[in-house]
Structure 1
Amino acid sequence: MGWLQSLLCPLKKLWDRLHSSHKKRRGIYILYKDVKSCPCEDVHVLWSILVESGAAPASLPSK
């Protein structure tokens, strides 16, 4: 039975890693939607600085 666990353990780690990165991207997208709907110009400026610095995923538009 140990061989089954040794086979499934790396797969579980991979699944957890893929699933957690999906949650992070989803969180960034939710934040992007909130920033986009915010009427305050300062928030938009700060978001553009964040995107230009490379801290946010490049797949999101800058405004």
Structure 2
Amino acid sequence: MGWLQSLLCPLKKLWVRIHSTNKKSRGIYILYKDVKSCPCEDVQVLWAILVESNAASTLPSKYTH
């Protein structure tokens, strides 16, 4: 029975990781839609700053100089 548990444990971890990532990206998309539908310009400016700062942090260091 131990061999079955050793086989299923990595699969369970993978299942949890896949589903938690999916929920996170779905939440970001919902937030994106909410921001785009908001009539307040300040909210859209803050969203643009957030997107730009996130894009800059994901680029390799040779592209940020």
Larger relative contact order (Cα-Cα within 8 Å, sequence gap ≥ 6): 1
TMscore range, shorter length? 0.7 to 0.9
Unmatched tracts of structure 1, length 5 or more:
56-63
Q: SS where residue 53 of structure 1 aligns? A: helix
Letter of the structure 2 residue corresponding to residue 43 of structure 1: V
Is the radius of gyration larger for structure 1 or structure 2? 2
* Structure with the higher helix share, 1 or 2: 2
Residues in 2 aligned to 1:19 and 1:49: alpha-carbon distance in whole angstroms: 28
- Aligned match of 1:3: 3
**What residue ranges of structure 2 are gaps of 5+ in the alignment?**
56-65
Counterpart of 2:20 in structure 1: which amino acid?
S
Question: Does 1:30 find its partner at 2:36?
Answer: no
- TM-fit CA distance, 1:54: 1.0
4+ aligned runs moved over 4 Å, structure 1: none
- Give me the TM-score of the superposition, normalised by structure 2: 0.81
1:24 Cα offset (Å): 0.2
Residue-pair matches, total: 55
Equivalence for 2:39: 39
Q: Which residue in 1 is equivalent to 2:21?
A: 21
Q: Percent identity?
A: 85
